[in-house]
Chains A and B, each alone.
Chain A
Amino acid sequence: MAPRLDDRARADALVARIERAVTKPTALMEVCGTHTMAIGHHGLRSRMPEGLRLVSGPGCPVCVTPCEDVDRAIAMAELPDVIVTTFGDMMKVPGSRSTLAKARAAGANVQVVYSPIDALRLAQQQPDKTVVFVGIGFETTTPTIAATMLRAKSAGVDNFCVLPAFKVVPEAMEALVLSPQTKIDGFICPGHVTAIIGVAPYAPLAAKYGVPCVVTGFEALDILEGVAMLVEQLAAGDARVENQYKRAVPDEGNPKAMAITRQVLQPCDAMWRGVGVIPGTGLEPRPEYASMDARARLPVDLPPPADLPKGCSCGAVMLGLMLPNECPLFGKACTPASAVGPCMVSSEGACAAYFKYGGA
């Protein structure tokens, strides 16, 4: 679809604002897979001035789910009288030895659901089975699973449980800022994560570390405006949290969703694939909901976990240290049809977006 003329003029005006404000090498990171896709789709990298790099961070919960969680889900699905339910995104993500899709083909009981509510319903329909839901997600997804756990508890469904593999975004952004390897001048903050958490959690990034943060929408003009707001802050020596996407994301987020998440889940350390353990960036059931923690409910023996396949650079890609097409496997051994690393497996992974859109 060709952009409307007035959109093109607005885009040109925003690009001019960006060009005026960028006077030194600058790296802006997006931490949302949908931004990664949108930047590629609209060819926005080609509109950025010399010296301004848009890098992709760990923006997709699928990409950062470690092998151990995939291995555990597979092992649970191989137990008798257990059904493992998952969002379809997880099916092809490699574990140490296999994927949920391959395990299903080999006879393991894995079912793809659209909503955690569907998994709860399955548990109600099959009371003689234990139904495990693979709880992956950032703050957008987590409250849907927490709300389902509340429903299970109030309906007395005791054969429903969750394999917790949740991740939180702002704390991971802080870890990236603190990483000596990574240099990030500003964050394009995720639109739909912020629709839940609101803008406040980004405040320490701006106040403590001087990194401006702009919550940004998904249209080309949104992203250009978000980038313009970031580089103008940098040019003025400011570091604030701004919300470019107010029309869909209220500053306060969704307090009800946050309250439900906090009621059911508590912080824990979490392993990010390719990155390592980041303290305090995971969530697990509170003691009152421990009976719904699939790890305690269904003990399984796991193979020693692998992390990334040999030669795969997804870790460096997710830390913004390397562009996807700088990985030696990119487009050769690793393509969407035959993916080696998680960033190529996930349709919103940085490598898949680069492959699809050519890194423009």
Chain B
Amino acid sequence: MCLAVPGKVMELNGSMGRCDFGGVERELCMDLLPEVETGSWVLAHAGFAIQLLDEEEAKKTLDLFQEWADFEAENTLGPTPIEAANASEAGGGSDGPPA
């Protein structure tokens, strides 16, 4: 459950902001990574930015998680963490964070 997901910080308002995760935008807290700026790529976990990433690494990792998600969609034994994150964003699902 320690999976962290790459995203791009779209806006910052004090220590809270909005972050784009491969097309899904959600709230992100910067308390653990105060050096984040708008436009930064970050590794995010449970609603917090935990590490800075460069853009190429972030995109490669998003592709990798998408590949796992595609496999999962064909083998429906339950959601991957990234799907679970998207499901809980939509207000449904009981499968929690990209933890």
Taken together as a complex, chains A and B put the C-alpha atoms of A142 and B67 apart, in Å, by 28
Q: Which stretch, A8-16, A21-29, A32-40, A204-212, touches the partner chain B?
A: A32-40
Asked if B67 contacts A86 (CB within 8 A), the reply is no
Residues from 72 to 90 in B contacting A, C-beta threshold 8 Å: 75, 77-81, 84-85, 88-89
Number of A-B contacts (CB under 8 A): 158
Q: A91-B94, A346-B1, A347-B79 are in contact. Are A144 and B68 (CB under 8 A)?
A: no
- Tell which of B70, B77, B89 has the most Cβ of chain A within 10 Å: B77
Among A150, A192, A219, A352, the residue within 8 A (CB) of B4 is A192
Asked if B51 contacts A249 (CB within 8 A), the reply is yes
CB of A5 within 8 Å of the partner chain: no
B93 to chain A, nearest CB (A): 7
Asked if B85 contacts A33 (CB within 8 A), the reply is no
Taken together as a complex, chains A and B put the C-alpha atoms of A212 and B4 apart, in Å, by 25
Q: A118-B47, A192-B3 are in contact. Are A88 and B84 (CB under 8 A)?
A: yes
Q: A137-B99, A248-B57, A256-B34 are in contact. Are A117 and B50 (CB under 8 A)?
A: no
A105 to chain B, nearest CB (A): 11
Instruction: Chain A residues near B79: list those with CB within 8 A.
Output: 347
- Tell which of A144, A196, A247 has the most Cβ of chain B within 10 Å: A144
Residues from 5 to 27 in B contacting A, C-beta threshold 8 Å: 26-27
The interface on chain B, measured as residues whose beta carbon lies within 8 A of the other chain's beta carbons, has a size of 44
Asked if A61 contacts B47 (CB within 8 A), the reply is no
Instruction: Chain B residues near A118: list those with CB within 8 A.
Output: 47
Asked if A87 contacts B99 (CB within 8 A), the reply is yes
CB of A319 within 8 Å of the partner chain: no
Asked if B94 contacts A116 (CB within 8 A), the reply is no
Instruction: Chain A residues near B78: list those with CB within 8 A.
Output: 336, 347, 352
A166 to chain B, nearest CB (A): 12
Bitwise interface map of A from 249 to 275 toward B, beta carbon under 8 Å scored 1, else 0: 110001011001000000000000000
* Sample of 23 A–B contacts (CB below 8 Å): A1-B67, A1-B70, A38-B68, A88-B96, A90-B96, A91-B96, A112-B93, A112-B96, A138-B2, A140-B2, A143-B32, A143-B48, A147-B32, A193-B2, A219-B60, A250-B51, A254-B50, A256-B33, A260-B32, A346-B1, A348-B81, A355-B77, A356-B77
Q: Footprint of A on B, CB under 8 Å?
A: 1-4, 26-27, 29, 31-34, 43, 45-48, 50-51, 53-54, 57, 60-61, 64, 67-68, 70-71, 75, 77-81, 84-85, 88-89, 93-97, 99
